[in-house]
Amino acid sequence: MADFKPDLTLVFDIAPEQGLKRANSRSDTEDRYERMDAEFHDRLRDGFLKIAAAEPERCAVLDASGSVEDIQAEIFLIVRDRLGLDS
């Protein structure tokens, strides 16, 4: 199982403050990750971005600060281009 990797990994990049604000607007209840401090979220984001930088053939970083529609359009283009799908 150690040799299995996804063909494509999407990394949704957003400033931790903005991501937490969005998460909190969806629900009155925080999960355990949302209760973690800003330093934890900064380290988590940095870790994912480092993985994406180390494996650019597999990872695509998306700007997740835009609208749902903008993010959906970007996902479509990345999946189409990276996986060779026709529209």
Taking only the tens place, the pLDDT of each residue in 32-77 is 666 778 888 899 999 999 999 999 999 999 999 999 999 999 999 9
Q: pTM of the entire structure?
A: 0.80
Q: Is 2 within the bounds of a domain?
A: no
Number of domains in the chain: 1
pLDDT at 86: 74
In a domain, 32, yes or no: yes
How many alpha carbons fall within 13 Å on the CB side of residue 72? 3
Whether 22 is covered by a domain: the verdict is: yes
Tokens at 54, concatenated? 């180390």
Domain that holds residue 14: 9-83
Does residue 20 belong to any structural domain of this protein?
yes
Q: What are phi and psi of 13, to 5 degrees?
A: -95, 125
More confident site: 84 or 54 = 54
